[in-house]
A and B are shown apart, each in its own frame.
Chain A
Amino acid sequence: MNYHWNWGIYFEQIKGGEETYLSWLITGLGWTVSVSLSAWVMALVIGSVVGTVRTAPRPWLVRLCNVYVELFRNVPLLVQMFLWFFVFPELLPPKLSLWVKQDMPAKEFFTATISLGLFTSARIAEQVRAGIQSLPRGQRHAGLAMGFTLPQTYRYVILPMAFRIIIPPLTSEFMNVFKNSSVAFAIGVLELTFQARQMQEDSEQGIETYLAVTILYFLCAFLAHRGMSWIEKRTRVPGYIAAAK
């Protein structure tokens, strides 16, 4: 293997610039975290609503939400990003379309967040639906028998338990958001993968570059896992659902 190692590369200056490569990586980490977290919040809100509606006694609403989920689950994320980035602005009224194409600030960031958010929301909707349906039917009946309205039954009886049940799959979904945010490089978000490619080309120190970026992704996934475990512990109902130590 013929490779010139240079572990000091992170602190060297980029070609024809003042910054160090380290500052590129930090910028990348910043964008990765911002895209991932904003997409996650968006996905959680939309996914919860869509997933809940899929268990409601309104067949046409259920069907509508099923279509939503299938639509976003059956097209690759990268293709979805291209659709939002290149195709969606064309469908807007001419003035708005021009603004989106030319003047919109942080256009890449918003596009990436929206596509990653909607993509993830479909997967969360699937898990929320599964969580609600895994509850014994008696819970719903008990809630209604107590005189709660249907929305109240969901709010006070079903959803609090359903969300606790689906914390483990939500944890892996949260880690997936960070991994999937790497696709955003394709529309020019300056996140970690984008910086990895840029730094590799500029410095020609591919292994050092990719190693640093891989470790940063690792760190994101690890912290995401830790955060969700903390939430899982805090929200545990004593004597219910695998009361582990």
Chain B
Amino acid sequence: MFGQLDLSVIRPSLGFIWTGLLFSANLTLIAMSGGILLGTLLAMARLASLGPLTRIASAYVNLMRSIPLVMVILWFFLVIPLVTGKPLGAERSAIITFTAFEAAYYSEIMRAGIQSVSRGQVSAAQALGMTYWQMMALVVLPQAFRNMLPILLTQTIILFQDTSLVYAIGAKDLLKAAEIAGKNYNRPIEMYLFAAVIYFVLCITLSTLVKRLQKKIAVVR
């Protein structure tokens, strides 16, 4: 029972777990920035009629969205070294995988965002003589981004939770660090619980902030 929990092991392992948490956070932030950038390009490709490019973009998004993330992680971990010819660490492989994988999910959000911008805005930009890229960068994307900000952030919270799956290739994230610490001190129960608490507190704080942001944006519109 809980009475046998020995929480004193948490203190000496804090530094170790902190490095794990830092990796998880880094992975989340890099995959978020890269994923949103790539995802926006994918969404633009899907909405413009560019023939093969449009089709490739949709195929990519649908493929990524129908495979379990764990399998995608394993695929990249296997294929990248085969293509480049030299082994890539689990950590770097994870960063590439998550950026590529999350791009598909972010692109669906950005697609909805771009479609949520009213047609008049596009017509107005064209009437002003803007090129496609000017129109996107100055008129459409800023509004699309703003409309979708809460959903983009919610997806990022999901991304943060999903980073725990790098367990499959042994990258040292928060969960793995907790597991190793648990083994070192022979108190795995406490360490798993501690990791769960960290995930929970971080995620619930972030999602509360997103909810507040959503209300704020809803009032302005």
**At the interface, yes or no: A217 with Cβ under 8 Å from chain B?**
yes
Q: Is the CB of B79 within 8 A of A207?
A: yes
Q: Is the CB of A196 within 8 A of B71?
A: yes
CA distance A186 to B165 in the complex (A): 9
Q: Is the CB of A185 within 8 A of B66?
A: no
Q: Is the CB of B175 within 8 A of A76?
A: yes
26 contacts between A and B (CB under 8 A): A73-B203, A74-B161, A75-B196, A75-B200, A76-B161, A76-B162, A76-B165, A76-B175, A77-B161, A79-B192, A79-B195, A80-B196, A83-B192, A90-B4, A91-B1, A181-B68, A193-B68, A200-B78, A206-B78, A207-B82, A210-B74, A210-B78, A214-B75, A217-B67, A218-B66, A218-B67
Interface code A182-216, partner B: CB below 8 Å = 1, 0 otherwise? Answer: 11011000000100110010000011001001100
Of A200, A213, A214, the most chain B CB neighbours within 10 A belong to A214
CA distance A71 to B168 in the complex (A): 24
- Contacts A78-B165, A91-B2, A175-B66 supplied; 15 other A-B pairs, CB < 8 Å: A75-B196, A75-B203, A76-B165, A78-B175, A79-B196, A83-B193, A86-B188, A91-B1, A179-B66, A185-B70, A185-B168, A186-B168, A196-B74, A210-B75, A213-B71
**At the interface, yes or no: B199 with Cβ under 8 Å from chain A?**
yes
Interface code A161-195, partner B: CB below 8 Å = 1, 0 otherwise? Answer: 00000000000000100111111011000000100
Q: Is the CB of B82 within 8 A of A179?
A: no
Contact of A87 with B74 at beta-carbon distance under 8 Å, contacts A1-B82, A78-B175 already known: no
What band does the interface of chain A fall in when counting residues whose beta carbon is under 8 Å from B?
Answer: 35 or more
Q: Is the CB of A87 within 8 A of B193?
A: yes
**At the interface, yes or no: A19 with Cβ under 8 Å from chain B?**
no
Nearest chain-B residue to A91 (Cβ)? Answer: B1
**At the interface, yes or no: A2 with Cβ under 8 Å from chain B?**
yes
What DSSP secondary structure best describes chain B's contact surface?
helix
Closest 10 CB pairs of A and B: A182-B68, A74-B203, A76-B161, A76-B164, A179-B68, A206-B78, A182-B70, A78-B164, A74-B204, A74-B200
User: Which residues of chain A are within 8 angstroms of B168 by Cβ–Cβ distance?
Assistant: 185-186, 193, 197
Q: Is the CB of A207 within 8 A of B1?
A: no
Give the interface of B toward A (CB within 8 A).
Answer: 1-2, 4, 66-71, 74-75, 78-79, 82-83, 85, 161-162, 164-165, 167-168, 175, 188-189, 192-193, 195-196, 199-200, 203-204, 207
In the assembled complex, the CB of A94 is this many whole angstroms from the nearest CB of chain B, namely: 9
In the assembled complex, the CB of B196 is this many whole angstroms from the nearest CB of chain A, namely: 5
Interface code A91-108, partner B: CB below 8 Å = 1, 0 otherwise? Answer: 100000000000000000
**At the interface, yes or no: A82 with Cβ under 8 Å from chain B?**
yes
Q: Is the CB of B165 within 8 A of A87?
A: no
CA distance A214 to B196 in the complex (A): 30
Give the interface of A toward B (CB within 8 A).
Answer: 1-3, 70-71, 73-80, 82-83, 86-87, 90-91, 175, 178-183, 185-186, 193, 196-197, 200, 206-207, 210, 213-214, 217-218, 221
User: Which residues of chain B are within 8 angstroms of A206 by Cβ–Cβ distance?
Assistant: 78
Q: Is the CB of B68 within 8 A of A79?
A: no
User: Which residues of chain B are within 8 angstroms of A79 by Cβ–Cβ distance?
Assistant: 164, 175, 192, 195-196, 199
User: Which residues of chain B are within 8 angstroms of A70 by Cβ–Cβ distance?
Assistant: 204
Q: Is the CB of A86 within 8 A of B192?
A: yes
In the assembled complex, the CB of A83 is this many whole angstroms from the nearest CB of chain B, namely: 6
In the assembled complex, the CB of A18 is this many whole angstroms from the nearest CB of chain B, namely: 27
Contact of A183 with B70 at beta-carbon distance under 8 Å, contacts A1-B82, A3-B82, A206-B78 already known: yes
CA distance A140 to B153 in the complex (A): 34
User: Which residues of chain A are within 8 angstroms of B192 by Cβ–Cβ distance?
Assistant: 79, 82-83, 86-87
Q: Is the CB of A74 within 8 A of B199?
A: yes
